[in-house]
Structure formats: structure tokens, C-alpha cells
């Protein structure tokens, strides 16, 4: 019953938003709130901005897309700043069709769906309120009622530009129903809805032989011709095509480039002049954002056809590549799993990461930059620190291949293979090895992959497995460390004492005997070598640590275990290296003694409580790491 009360409350809220009045009253509204009279492109841009924008690493992050689109920050910034923003300012790009081009399952349809759902919600807010001539099937802009010769004066008084002419139907209604008195014309607030065909339209190509142009522009209602006497009487016409219904909002052209040419001709006038031809009427004005999407192969075929030159010049192409960040790819899989019937299955930690490493590798181009391989490139793209490289190198790598990410394995394939792994294993838990095995099996059945790509992808699965092996070993070794944080802090403080003495050329005092001694070079190197600090670079590294230590002290902050990322990594690896033999013996013993069994149970409990495993996947992880350490 709670859901019914919520539905009732929602209905009451919608009723409270409704408004109806005369054109004279509407003018009063736009005098107080000029944003009500904004164009379709402006409304979309302001809708995106209203959700919030933040700058991160020099990139604008739009919260509007944040919960559904992952790893496409650059593409989305370009979409908003190079299309929606100038279009909202009435620059010429608003007279172009927006074509999202990219590989399958790359996020094109999701972006369009977000814009549609967003407009539906935004039209229910004060900032996004939309008003139309009451009873108009095209939800026409009330300002079209202002005669052409008065529009310059209107702009001077209201600061609002009026574009477009009154439609044939409303021209007739103005004369017949209102005697030409525009101030009395009824105006109503409308709410965008794709289901109700208000301000949002979708056009899907079908068989060219059976598809009718009326699907786009409406059609004559032959049953009313006897009543109204002529096909050119607007009352005898159904203004119910997708272009009619999408007026004031947006229309999605699904697979636009598959359409027959005669359908695309209507877009030439609509994009450039803001009107289209329907029936035996003068040109009909329409203010709408037209979004289409296609893949790269179809787009190349389209532009190679000379017949399409006129339309091609009226298209702005926005590439939507695959995501190239491992962490964001994991989020894509998590989202797809949440939306599926697999949500009840326990997926062990790092299983999705292993799959993400594989899929991102298939999308990356081999770097030309010296000293960097595909793995390092992947890690740099993911925001990880790679010795000897910085953010400038990341930008250089991106500049090498501007269209990187337009090929590779798509997220749907990964989810399909995860589903297959779940069904095959018939247990409520799967791990990284199950996923990688399923991916490998699937490549042999993937008809669209060439033999060359298949061999390359098989190598990437091996690379993903190798990366997972390191993750798995670290995970188990970390779980074996009793009071891990305390051990790490103790080792770090010991290291810092020695570094401080080394840099200041001082001696240390033994805490037990009290005698003076030199800094422990062996200890310091055993830690520094874990992260590849060479003998020649050790002084610079230690001085960097000391500078960081002093900076924290000046600011009254405490330098702790998490204050220096590379030092923390070195401490972890040193602890793991010291524990390796203990882990090896305990995990690989076929008949563990009582002490070993107790230790195993403690580790399993820690993996479950602190690392997100279930009992099944924790025990599988231990067995696997034991076999790795014994190789």
C-alpha cells in the first residue's frame, strides 16, 4: 500500500505544477523569468549544468552523466563544450544534427537515454518549465503568436529573440477561435514525456519499402476531408509524426545512416532553417535537438557517398570511444550486474578487475613513446604512478592516437562471459580465474574476431592473469600479516629514523644498549628496492622523504603511514617479502597442523571480514596463491 500512496503523492505533485492562462498572463511569466522562453538546445545545456560541474585534473566532470557513464570524461566534455554550449548561445552549431559515433556498447544509446529522461525531469522544475499553445499537437512556442513586424520591439523590451512562424493549424485557430486577439489565446504548461509523445520523439528505421514519410512529418486524416473540404485544411491533417511531437525538446534518430535518402532530405531544411515541409502547407517551424548515433563503419560509408554531401555538412560528429580506464571499466560491469539477474551471485574481489584489464588492453594502441609498454600505458591511463613518467607523458600518449578506443572488446561481451561462468560453475560464487577462463573460451566462439586479433587477445588474457597473480599474492600476504597496520607503522618509523640520521649525517642510539650506531643502510635499501629505487637514486629519494616530513611538521600535521604513496607501497612489499615463506608453507600444506590450520582460519576470516570475499572464494584464493608460491 505504501507504493500506492507514493504514486498518489506523485500525481498530486504533478497536478500542482499544472498551469493554464492567457497569452497576456504568459508574457508576465517570461518578463519575470526569461529562461522559460529558452530554445531546445539551451534547455538541454542548462539541464546538464544544473546537476553540477566540477573540475578534476583540468577536466570538467558533469554530474548529470556521472551515475551512468564511466571513463568518458573527455568525450563528454567535448560534447557539452563544443556542441551544447555554443548551440545554447544560438551559434551556428545548433543548426547541425548531433551524430554520436562509436563502437557497439560504448555508451551512445545511454547518453541519449540520459538526455531524454533528464528532459522529462527538468521540464518539471521551475528552471526547466515549458509552456505551449493549448491544444496544439506540436506544443508550439507561444511567442510565435507575436507578429513578425513587432518582434524587434519585443526583443528590446523583453530581451528574448523569437524564431519561427506560427503553424498553419494555430494560424487558423487564432482567427476562428480568438478573432485574431493573441492576448486571449490559451497557454498551458507542458511536461516532456517520451511515453506520451510530448517534446521527445524516437525514430527507428525499418524496411524502406514499408516505412512511410508520415512517420516523420504526420499525414492527412482522410476521414475528415469530407468535413473540412480540402487536404490543405490544417484540421484535416494529423500533426503526429516524430518531428511534430519532438518539437520544443529532442528527437532521437536511431541508426540514422541506415535510413532511406528521402527521410534524410527533411533534415536539410530542419537543421539549417528550423522548419520542415509537411502536407500541403507552408514550411512548419520546429525547435528541437536532433541526436543520431551510428558506428564508424557506417559513417565512413556514408561520407564516401557523394550524394550525402549536403547532409554531411549539416552534421557534427562526436566520437564516443570505449572507456580506457580499468577502474571505470569495473564500474561499468558493476552497473550492468546490478541491473541483471546476477546480482545475487557473489563475485570475488578483483574478478571484475581482471576482466577490465583484459578489455582495456584490447582497446589500447601500442605506444610509440620509448620506454613504455602497453601495461605501463594502461596503468598511467588509470591514474597509477609509474616510475619515470608523469601527467605530461599521459597527454603525449593520448596525442599519439586521437581516435584510440574505437576498437576492442565491448562490455556486453564481458558480461555475457561472466554469465556463462556463473551458469557453468553452478555455485553462488565466481572468481577472477573463472572469468578469465570463460573469456578465453568465448574468443574461440566469437565469429567477428579475426585470427590475428584472436591470437593478440589470447595474449592479453595471459597478461591479465599475470596481473591478477600479483594482486592475489598481495591480498593473501596482507591478510597473513597479524596487526598489519601496526607492523607497517613500526617499520616505517624505523625507516624514517634512519633516513633522518642519514640525511643529517647523524648517528642513531640503540634503544636497548644506548650505544651510538650508523644508520642501517641494509634496512633502508631492503625497503627502497621494493619500488625500484636504484643505488644512484637513493639519496634523492631519502631527501624527498625528509622534505615531505619537514613540510608536514611546519603545517602542524603528523606524517603517517598514508602520507607518502610510494613509501607506503615499499613498506607493504617489504612486509610481504618477509612473510612469503610463512604464507607458502601454510597455504600449500596438504595436511596442515593445528597451528597452521588456526592461521588459515584466521586468514579466511580476515579475507571475508575485511576484503569482501565469501567462504568459498576465500578458500579458493588461498589454494591458488599456495600453488603460485610453490612454482
pLDDT digit string (tens) for 309-335?
Answer: 878 888 899 999 999 999 999 999 999
Whether 299 shows a pLDDT value over 90: the answer reads no
Select the more confidently predicted residue: 477 or 469.
469
Other CB atoms within 10 Å distance of the CB of residue 159: 11
Distance between first and last Cα of the chain: 61
Contacts of 449 (CB under 8 A, 6+ apart): 443, 457
Per the CB < 8 A criterion, the answer to whether 134 and 187 are in contact is yes
Percent share of the chain, pLDDT over 90: 48
pLDDT band at 227 (very low <50, low <70, confident <90, very high): confident
Q: Please, which pLDDT band fits residue 2 given cuts at 50, 70 and 90?
A: confident
For residues 330 and 101, give the distance between their C-alpha atoms in angstroms, rounded to a whole number: 23
Each residue of 401-420: pLDDT tens digit?
Answer: 988 999 999 999 999 898 88
CATH 3.40.50.300 segments of the chain: 3-319
- Examine the pLDDT at 232 and tell me if it is beyond 90: no
Mean pLDDT of 257-265: 74
Q: Which of 349-363, 401-415, 508-522, 536-550 has the lowest mean pLDDT?
A: 508-522
pLDDT at position 596: 74
Mean predicted confidence (pLDDT) in 372-382? 92
Cell output for 529: 628496492
Q: Residue 209 — very low, low, confident or very high, per pLDDT cuts 50/70/90?
A: low
Cell 552523466 identifies what position? 65
The whole-model pTM stands at 0.84
Q: Higher-confidence residue: 234 or 187?
A: 187
Q: Which residues pair with 315 in a beta bridge?
A: 97
198: left (phi over 0), alpha (psi -120 to 50) or beta: beta
Enumerate the H helices of 483-533 as residue ranges.
484-503, 521-528
Distance CA 110, CA 360 (A): 20
Does residue 446 carry a pLDDT above 80?
Answer: no
Q: How far apart are alpha carbons 545 and 554 in whole angstroms?
A: 14
- Cell numbers placing 385: 604512478
Tell me: pLDDT of 163 over 80: yes
Please state, in angstroms and rounded to a whole number, the distance separating the CA atoms of residues 434 and 444.
Answer: 16
Residues 198, 242: Cα–Cα separation, whole Å: 10
- Which tens digit of pLDDT belongs to each residue from 118-136? 999 999 999 999 999 999 9
Q: What is the pLDDT confidence band of residue 72, given thresholds at 50, 70 and 90?
A: very high
Of 292-301, 338-347, 431-440, 497-506, minimum mean pLDDT range: 338-347
**Mean per-residue pLDDT for 156-167?**
93
> Of 9-13, 73-77, 565-569, which one has max mean pLDDT?
73-77
Cβ-count burial of 338 within 10 angstroms (0-12 exposed, 13-18 middle, 19+ buried)? exposed
- For residues 316 and 97, the answer to whether their CB atoms sit within 8 Å is yes
Report the 3 state secondary structure along 360-384. Answer: HHHHCCCCCCCCCCHHHHHHHHCCC
Estimate to the nearest angstrom the gap between the alpha carbon of 384 and the chain centroid.
Answer: 20
pLDDT score recorded for residue 325: 95
Comparing 226 with 552, the larger pLDDT belongs to 552
Kindly tell me if the per-residue pLDDT of 210 is higher than 80: no
* 99: nearest Cα among 239, 269, 260, 296: 296
Query: Is the pLDDT confidence value at 494 over 80?
Result: yes
- Asked if residue 439 lies in contact with residue 461, where contact means CB atoms within 8 angstroms, the answer is yes
| pLDDT above 90 for 141 | yes
Mean pLDDT for 46-54 is 94
Select the more confidently predicted residue: 474 or 162. 162
Note whether 289 and 40 are within 8 A (CB). Answer: yes
Position with higher pLDDT, 229 vs 626: 626
pLDDT at 1 over 60: no
Residue 507 DSSP SS3: coil
Does position 94 have pLDDT exceeding 70, yes or no? Answer: yes
Q: What CATH superfamily is the domain 3-319?
A: P-loop containing nucleotide triphosphate hydrolases (3.40.50.300)
Mean pLDDT computed over every residue of the chain = 88
pLDDT at 569: 84
Band of pLDDT at residue 484, cut at 50, 70 and 90: low
Amino acid at each position: 500500500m505504501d507504493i500506492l500512496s507514493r504514486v498518489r503523492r506523485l500525481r498530486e505533485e504533478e497536478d500542482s505544477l499544472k498551469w493554464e492562462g492567457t497569452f497576456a498572463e504568459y508574457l508576465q511569466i517570461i518578463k519575470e523569468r526569461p529562461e522559460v522562453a529558452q530554445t531546445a538546445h539551451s534547455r538541454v545545456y542548462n539541464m546538464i549544468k544544473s546537476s553540477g560541474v566540477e573540475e578534476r585534473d583540468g577536466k570538467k566532470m558533469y554530474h548529470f552523466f556521472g551515475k551512468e557513464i564511466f571513463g568518458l570524461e573527455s568525450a563528454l566534455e567535448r560534447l557539452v563544450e563544443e556542441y551544447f554550449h555554443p548551440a545554447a548561445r544560438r551559434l551556428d552549431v545548433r543548426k547541425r544534427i548531433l551524430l554520436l559515433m562509436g563502437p557497439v556498447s560504448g555508451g551512445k544509446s545511454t547518453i541519449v537515454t540520459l538526455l531524454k529522461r533528464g528532459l522529462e525531469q527538468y521540464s518539471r522544475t521551475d528552471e526547466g518549465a515549458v509552456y505551449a499553445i493549448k491544444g496544439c499537437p506540436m506544443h508550439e512556442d507561444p511567442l510565435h503568436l507575436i507578429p513578425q513586424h513587432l518582434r524587434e520591439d519585443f526583443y528590446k523590451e523583453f530581451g528574448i529573440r523569437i524564431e519561427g512562424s506560427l503553424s498553419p493549424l494555430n494560424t487558423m485557430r487564432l482567427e476562428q477561435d480568438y478573432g485574431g486577439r493573441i492576448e486571449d489565446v490559451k497557454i498551458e504548461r507542458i511536461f516532456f514525456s517520451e511515453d506520451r509523445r510530448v517534446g521527445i520523439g524516437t525514430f527507428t528505421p525499418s524496411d524502406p519499402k514499408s516505412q512511410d514519410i508520415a512517420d516523420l512529418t504526420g499525414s492527412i486524416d482522410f476521414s475528415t476531408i469530407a468535413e473540412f473540404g480540402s487536404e490543405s485544411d490544417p484540421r484535416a491533417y494529423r500533426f503526429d509524426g516524430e518531428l511534430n511531437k519532438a518539437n520544443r525538446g529532442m528527437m532521437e534518430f536511431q541508426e540514422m545512416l541506415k535510413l532511406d535518402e528521402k527521410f534524410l532530405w527533411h533534415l536539410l531544411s530542419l537543421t539549417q532553417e528550423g522548419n520542415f515541409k509537411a502536407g500541403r502547407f507552408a514550411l512548419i517551424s520546429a525547435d528541437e535537438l536532433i541526436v543520431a548515433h551510428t558506428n564508424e563503419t557506417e559513417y565512413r560509408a556514408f561520407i564516401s557517398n557523394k550524394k550525402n554531401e549536403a547532409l554531411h555538412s549539416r552534421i557534427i560528429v562526436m566520437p564516443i570511444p570505449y572507456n580506457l580506464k580499468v577502474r571505470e571499466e569495473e564500474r561499468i560491469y558493476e552497473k550492468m550486474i546490478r541491473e541483471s539477474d546476477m546480482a545475487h551471485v557473489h563475485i570475488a574481489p578483483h574478478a571484475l578487475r581482471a576482466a577490465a584489464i583484459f578489455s582495456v588492453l584490447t582497446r589500447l594502441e601500442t605506444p610509440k613513446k620509448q620506454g613504455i609498454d602497453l601495461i605501463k600505458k594502461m596503468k598511467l591511463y588509470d591514474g597509477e604512478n609509474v616510475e619515470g613518467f608523469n601527467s605530461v607523458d599521459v597527454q603525449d600518449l593520448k596525442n599519439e592516437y586521437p581516435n584510440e578506443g574505437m576498437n576492442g572488446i565491448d562490455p556486453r561481451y564481458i558480461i555475457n562471459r561472466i554469465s556463462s561462468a556463473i551458469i557453468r560453475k553452478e555455485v553462488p560464487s565466481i572468481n577472477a580465474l573463472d572469468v578469465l577462463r570463460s573469456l578465453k573460451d568465448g574468443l574461440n566462439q566469437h565469429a567477428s574476431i579475426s585470427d590475428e586479433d584472436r591470437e593478440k587477445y589470447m595474449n592479453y588474457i595471459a597478461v591479465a592473469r599475470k596481473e591478477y597473480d600479483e594482486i592475489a599474492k598481495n591480498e593473501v600476504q596482507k591478510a597473513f600479516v597479524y596487526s598489519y597496520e601496526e607492523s607497517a607503522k613500526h617499520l616505517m618509523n624505523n625507516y624514517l629514523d634512519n633516513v633522518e640520521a642519514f640525511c643529517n649525517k647523524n648517528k642513531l642510539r640503540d634503544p636497548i644498549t644506548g650505544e651510538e650506531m650508523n644508520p642501517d643502510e641494509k634496512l633502508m635499501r631492503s625497503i627502497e628496492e621494493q619500488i625500484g629505487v636504484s643505488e644512484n637514486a637513493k639519496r634523492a629519494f631519502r631527501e624527498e622523504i625528509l622534505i615531505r616530513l619537514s613540510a608536514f611538521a611546519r603545517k602542524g600535521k603528523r606524517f603517517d603511514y598514508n602520507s607518502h604513496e610510494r613509501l607506503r607501497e615499499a613498506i607493504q612489499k617489504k612486509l610481504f617479502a618477509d612473510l612469503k615463506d610463512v604464507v607458502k608453507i601454510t597455504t600449500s600444506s596438504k595436511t596442515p597442523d593445528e597451528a597452521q590450520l588456526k592461521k588459515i582460519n584466521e586468514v579466511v576470516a580476515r579475507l571475508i571480514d575485511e576484503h569482501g570475499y565469501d567462504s568459498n572464494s576465500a578458500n579458493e584464493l588461498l589454494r591458488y596463491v599456495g600453488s603460485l608460491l610453490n612454482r
